[in-house]
């Protein structure tokens, strides 16, 4: 915009007749002469170009890595005097990308190119590098500190070299330095004080990976942001700039691994042709500290190797996998390993041959071990054999295997025992397998949380799960403690997030879905961070540093998770979404090939009440939790209300803590959820003036959709449950727009991600 404003000024001075003629008269004189007219057009075109660039630049592509000029000149000058030059020997590819990020970031934020120097000679240097390779850095970092930084940690400290004040960004590895650079830029992006820095940061978990559910045809299972980022057809020859920007974004939040393909895996990824494509991506990601992994189909030896079996104890099968591992590591020496979904939802697995999950996982682990690779074996299993409760099956199958997995196996457990619902209690396997490396699986893509159109910030969900009390090693042992290996004998630690990225220009579809990618990375690095702190960082980097914007929008983000729980599945309800595509409400689903694919299986509504009885009188799933949590969950009067209908079948007229009956409370939550979305809309309207029009409008349209869909959820669910409660809607709930029949007859085709 500033460039447009300069235009009349140029004309004014160019006229040379400032006193006698106004700008428009001058313009008129000049344009009558052809050559001036051409100059005029050129200036106009240039200005228009600058203007259009500025508008387009806010399409969200840059994510949180926006390095726009810091507008406040006082702050900018303060930073500029602290970072007058950079001393950063670039000996490796990782150092090169770290330096280029630092240079690019600083020049954008400060408005000038900060020069590179080979030594600290005056105040105001940024001195970046590894501790072992730079004696100046080494002098500033004690051996003890260096040790505690580990492989990927870093420090950012105001120090002194040759008697000159400088900012040190140091680590044991180049990747650590890269992480430090991103952190340092974040300080500037969020306008922090950098005059006396003493930051020390190391990741709490070793493996911090994204799981892409991307298929070879580029469709993304449960993806709501376009097609897969991986252009398999043009790989390995064509390297899309997106791959590099993807790596930058991940490195900026400490993600160090990516599983490229869907857990419902296609064996094609293990063919020699595709491994070359995988190698091309691995080569792009390597400088950013990101290793690639593949989801593998357990029956690949049959499909690709022509064997008659995939039995993990069969000699030929083991040999086939060994040869495959050798081939992979010849191409990709730092290949991360395999992710496996076995004997779940129709996928092949060791149980097809009468073997256990451990037999399958260990066989693969053995072929990867010589190369340092790992197996991430998923515990998301359920089938027709799950006697009386799907929620219990993973525990039943896996707990007896505790202690039998190889050291390089991690069992990957979803955050809750069913399936990424808006709210679930934590998975009871956390705390049940002290001799196994357990890793967390979160879903960043919003399969069950409004998919591509609802603004739902997942930070509070991550925080709630990670801080849940498990009693695994006495009172005060959280899920985070277990993940970090503080509560058992884990040899490896890790966390996975099912990615929400795609080819949409802004990567994630909904502008606020970017916050969930960001938050996942920040929680993976530090499971004890708060959702609020993360939201604030993200907002400042992604939109604006103005408090008038940040404060209300942060509040909106924090409440958005409770809002979706309220208007979809309050009080512990779960899995009542549309059949298969999971879009919209469908509590009435009762005919499906399997009972546990219906909604009635999960909510159990009848004339007496609502909810799944998982107490000792019911399926007794509560017994999978440790005492005293088990007893708390088992008692309907002590069970937290947010999980009430998860664990209990509660009579419609039972009085809850508020004094309201279950029916009244249910109505209150559904109606409150809609009100919250209205509040979100109001908040957004009030902050429009602080941000660019493009993203403002995009979010506004999406919030309008979210509001209509929240109303739809409320009305459809209340009308349906009312057929059981047989009670009127309380006065605080507006009358539904349509009949129950209308909602039941809605049909949706081509829902994305299905």
Q: How far is the CB of 378 from ligand GCW (least distance, A)?
A: 7
Does 380 engage in binding with ligand GCW (CB under 6 A)? Answer: yes
Q: How far is the CB of 414 from ligand GCW (least distance, A)?
A: 7
Local structure of 385: helix, strand or coil: coil
Long-range contacts, stretch 480-485, CB < 8 angstroms, 24+ apart: 480/204, 480/527, 480/528, 482/430, 482/431, 482/438, 483/204, 483/205, 483/430, 483/438, 483/439, 483/440, 483/527, 484/204, 484/205, 484/527, 485/437
Q: Which residues contact 375 (CB under 8 A, 6 or more apart)?
A: 337, 338, 339, 340, 361, 364, 365, 368, 406, 408, 409, 410
Tell me which of 136, 419, 441, 463 is the catalytic residue: 419
**Closer to ligand GCW by Cβ: residue 189 or 599:** 599
Examine residue 419 and tell whether it contacts ligand GCW (CB under 6 A).
yes
- Rounded least distance, CB 512 to ligand GCW, Å: 22
Cα 398 from Cα 430, distance rounded (Å): 11
Q: How far is the CB of 513 from ligand GCW (least distance, A)?
A: 18
Q: Residue 148: CB partners within 8 Å, gap ≥ 6?
A: 200, 202
Taking the complex as a whole, how short is the minimal distance between the CB of residue 752 and ligand GCW, in angstroms? 12
Nearest to 660 by CA among 559, 740, 570, 600: 570
Q: How many residues bind ligand GCW (CB under 6 A)?
A: 9
Please pick, among 68, 345, 551, 637, the residue that the annotation labels catalytic.
345
Q: Is 303 a catalytic residue?
A: no
> From the CB of 222, what's the least distance to ligand GCW, in Å?
5
Contact indicator for 259, 293 with CB cutoff of 8 Å: yes
Token output for 305: 């190797």
Rounded CA gap, 234 and 447, in Å?
Answer: 29
The smaller minimum CB distance to ligand GCW, of residues 190 and 264, is found at 264
Q: What does the block give as tokens for 605?
A: 């509504």
C-beta closer to ligand GCW: residue 419 or 566:
419
649 and 603 Cβ atoms separated by less than 8 Å? no
Per the CB < 8 A criterion, the answer to whether 279 and 236 are in contact is: yes
752 is an interface residue for ligand GCW by CB under 6 A = no
Token code pair at residue 203: 């990741």
Q: Which of 90, 133, 158, 221 is the binder for ligand GCW (CB under 6 A)? A: 221
419 is catalytic: yes
Q: Which residue is nearest to ligand GCW (CB)?
A: 419
Q: How far is the CB of 418 from ligand GCW (least distance, A)?
A: 9
At 474 the three-state DSSP class reads strand
Binding mask 154-193 for ligand GCW (x = CB under 6 A): ----------------------------------------
The minimum distance between CB 211 and ligand GCW, in angstroms, equals 9
Task: Count Cβ atoms below 10 Å from residue 324 Cβ, excluding itself.
Answer: 22
Q: Min. distance of Cβ 382 from ligand GCW in angstroms?
A: 10
Q: Which residue in the block uniquely carries the two structure tokens 């064997």?
A: 307
H or E stretch covering 439: strand 437-443
Cis status, amide bond into 617, omega within 30 of 0: no
For ligand GCW, which residue of 251, 259, 263, 374 counts as binding (CB under 6 A)?
A: 263
Contact between 736 and 719 (Cβ < 8 Å): yes
Q: By C-beta, is 263 or 563 nearer to ligand GCW?
A: 263
Alpha helix positions (H), 484-542:
513-525, 531-542
Residue 439 binding ligand GCW, by CB under 6 A: no
C-alpha–C-alpha distance, residues 424 and 195, integer Å: 44
If the CB atoms of residues 106 and 263 are measured against ligand GCW, the closer one turns out to be: 263
Give the nearest distance from C-beta 699 to ligand GCW in angstroms.
27
Residue placing its CB nearer to ligand GCW in the complex, 343 or 477: 343
Q: Which residue has the tokens 């009127």?
A: 728
CA 426 to chain CA mean position, Å: 18
The active-site residue, picked from 366, 447, 463, 664, is 447
536 contacts ligand GCW (rule: CB under 6 A): no
Cβ at position 346, least distance to ligand GCW in Å: 10
Cis peptide before 570 (omega within 30 of 0): no
DSSP 656-722: -TTS-BHHHHHHHHHHHHHHHHHHHHHHHHHHGGGS-HHHHHHHHHHHHHHHHHHHHHHHHHHHHHH
Query: Closer CB to ligand GCW, residue 263 or residue 539?
Result: 263
Beta bridge mates, 171: 130, 154
CA–CA dist 622, 301 (Å, integer): 40
Contact status: 341 vs ligand GCW (CB under 6 A): yes
- Residue closer to ligand GCW by CB (options 366, 419) is 419
How far is 724 from 124, CA to CA, in rounded Å? 71
Nearer to ligand GCW, 568 or 610 (CB): 568
Total residues found in the chain within this entry = 754
Nearer to ligand GCW, 263 or 699 (CB): 263
If phi over 0 gives left and psi between -120 and 50 gives alpha, with beta otherwise, what is residue 215?
A: beta
Using DSSP, state whether 27 is helix, strand or coil.
helix
Place of tokens 């602080």: 690
The reply to whether 499 sits near ligand GCW by the rule CB under 6 A is no
Nearest CA among 679, 726, 432, 397 for reference residue 552: 679
The answer to whether residue 213 forms part of the interface with ligand GCW (CB under 6 A) is: yes
Q: Which of 222, 297, 581, 669 binds ligand GCW (CB under 6 A)?
A: 222
566 is catalytic: no
Quote the CA–CA distance of 607 and 596 in Å, as a whole number.
Answer: 21
Contacts (CB under 6 A) with ligand GCW, residues 127-156:
none
CB 149 within 8 A of CB 156: no
Q: Which of residues 343-362 bind ligand GCW (CB under 6 A)?
A: 345
Judged by CB, which is closer to ligand GCW: 401, or 496? 496
**Of 47, 264, 404, 544, which lies in the binding site for ligand GCW, with binding defined by CB under 6 A?**
264
| 648 near ligand GCW, judged by CB under 6 A | no
Closest to ligand GCW by CB, 213 vs 462, is: 213
Q: How far is the CB of 524 from ligand GCW (least distance, A)?
A: 18
Decide whether 430 or 583 has the Cβ nearer to ligand GCW: 583
CB 575 → ligand GCW: shortest distance, Å?
A: 9
Question: What's the CA gap between 732 and 672, in Å, rounded?
Answer: 9
Catalytic residues: 345, 419, 447
Positions in the binding site for ligand GCW (CB under 6 A): 213, 221-222, 263-264, 341, 345, 380, 419
């Amino acid at each position: 915009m500033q460039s447009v404003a300069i235009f009349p000024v140029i004309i004014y001075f160019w006229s040379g007749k400032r006193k006698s003629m106004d700008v428009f008269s001058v313009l008129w004189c000049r344009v009558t002469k052809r050559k001036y007219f051409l100059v005029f057009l050129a200036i106009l075109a240039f200005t228009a170009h600058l203007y259009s660039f500025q508008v387009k630049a806010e399409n969200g592509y840059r994510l949180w890595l926006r390095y726009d000029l810091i507008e406040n000149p006082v702050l900018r000058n303060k930073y500029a005097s602290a970072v007058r030059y950079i001393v950063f020997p670039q000996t490796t590819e990782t150092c090169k990308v770290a330096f280029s990020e630092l240079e690019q970031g600083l020049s954008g934020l400060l408005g000038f190119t900060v020069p590179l120097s080979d030594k600290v000679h005056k105040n105001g240097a940024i001195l970046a590098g590894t501790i072992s390779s730079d004696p100046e850095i080494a002098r500033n970092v004690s051996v003890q500190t260096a040790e505690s930084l580990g492989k990927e940690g870093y420090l950012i400290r105001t120090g002194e070299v040759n008697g000159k004040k400088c900012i040190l960004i140091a680590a044991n590895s180049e990747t650590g330095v890269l992480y430090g650079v991103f952190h340092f830029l974040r300080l500037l992006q969020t306008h922090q004080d950098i005059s006396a820095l003493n930051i020390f940061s190391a990741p709490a978990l070793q493996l911090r990976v994204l799981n892409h559910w991307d298929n070879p045809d580029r469709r993304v299972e449960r993806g709501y942001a376009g097609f897969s980022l991986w252009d398999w057809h043009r790989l390995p020859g064509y390297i899309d700039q997106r791959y590099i920007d993807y790596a930058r974004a991940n490195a900026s939040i400490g993600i160090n691994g990516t599983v490229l393909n869907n857990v419902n895996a296609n064996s094609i990824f293990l063919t020699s042709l595709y491994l070359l494509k995988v190698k091309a991506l691995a080569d792009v990601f390597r400088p950013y500290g990101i290793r690639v992994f593949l989801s593998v189909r357990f029956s690949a030896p049959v499909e690709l190797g022509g064997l008659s079996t995939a039995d993990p104890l069969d000699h030929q099968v083991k040999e086939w996998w060994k040869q495959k591992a050798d081939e992979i590591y010849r191409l990709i020496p730092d290949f991360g390993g395999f992710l496996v979904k076995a004997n779940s939802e129709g996928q092949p697995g060791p149980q097809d041959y009468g073997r256990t999950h451990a037999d399958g996982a260990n066989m693969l682990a053995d072929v990867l071990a010589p190369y340092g690779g790992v197996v991430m074996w998923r515990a998301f299993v359920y089938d027709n054999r799950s006697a009386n409760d799907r929620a219990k099956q993973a525990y039943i199958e896996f707990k007896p295997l505790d202690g039998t997995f190889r050291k390089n196996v991690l069992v990957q457990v979803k955050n809750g025992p069913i399936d990424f619902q808006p709210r679930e209690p934590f998975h009871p396997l956390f705390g049940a397998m002290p001799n196994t490396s357990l890793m967390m699986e979160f879903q960043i893509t919003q399969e069950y949380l409004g998919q591509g159109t609802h603004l739902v910030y997942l930070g509070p969900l991550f925080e709630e799960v990670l801080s849940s009390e498990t009693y695994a090693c006495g009172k005060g042992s959280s899920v985070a403690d277990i993940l970090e290996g503080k509560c058992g004998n884990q040899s490896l630690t890790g966390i996975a997030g099912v990615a929400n990225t795609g080819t949409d220009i802004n990567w994630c579809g909904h502008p606020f879905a970017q916050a969930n990618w960001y938050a996942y990375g920040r929680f993976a690095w530090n499971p004890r961070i708060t959702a609020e702190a993360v939201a604030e960082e993200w907002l400042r980097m992604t939109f604006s540093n103005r408090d008038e914007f940040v404060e209300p929008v942060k509040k909106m983000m924090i409440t958005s998770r409770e809002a979706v729980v309220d208007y979809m599945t309050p009080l512990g309800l779960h899995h009542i979404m549309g059949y298969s595509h999971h879009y919209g409400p469908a509590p009435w689903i009762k005919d499906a090939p399997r009972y546990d694919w219906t909604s009635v299986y999960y909510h159990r509504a009848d004339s007496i009440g609502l909810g799944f009885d998982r107490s000792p009188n019911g399926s007794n799933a509560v017994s999978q939790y440790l005492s005293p949590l088990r007893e708390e969950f088992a008692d309907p009067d002590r069970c937290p209300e947010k999980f009430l209908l998860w664990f209990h079948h509660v009579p419609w007229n039972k009085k809850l803590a508020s004094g309201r009956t279950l029916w009244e409370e249910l109505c209150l939550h559904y109606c409150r959820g809609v009100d919250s979305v209205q509040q979100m809309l109001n908040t957004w309207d009030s902050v429009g003036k602080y941000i660019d029009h493009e993203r403002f409008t995009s979010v506004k349209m999406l919030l309008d959709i979210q509001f209509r869909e929240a109303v739809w959820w409320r009305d459809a669910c209340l009308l349906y449950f009312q057929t059981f409660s047989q009670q009127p809607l309380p006065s605080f709930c507006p009358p539904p727009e349509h009949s129950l029949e209308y909602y039941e007859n809605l049909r949706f085709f081509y829902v994305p991600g299905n």
